[in-house]
Amino acid sequence: MKDLLASKKFRVAVLTVVGMIATKLGVPESTVSELTLLIAPLLAYIVGQGIADIGKEKAKVELEEVE
């Protein structure tokens, strides 16, 4: 659980979900559009970081094979 809480992707995902829930709870439309402007980049960050992590693991495996 400690590793999960230390994960940047997890923290960003939690903030994204909180923002999405706020948009469904009757928050004024102007605030919803501002939240949407924040949520989209956060989701893009999660996807991008996931792709980067895949590359890191692949490089780690290749390095171990060389040694």
- pLDDT tens string for the chain (67 positions)? 778 778 878 887 887 787 778 778 877 778 777 777 877 888 888 888 888 888 777 777 776 776 6
Question: How many structural domains comprise the chain?
Answer: 1
Distance CA 31, CA 9 (A): 24
Residue 67 pLDDT: 63
The closest alpha carbon to 32, from 40, 43, 46, 12, belongs to 40
20: its two tokens: 């999405």
Which residue range(s) make up the domain with 38?
2-66
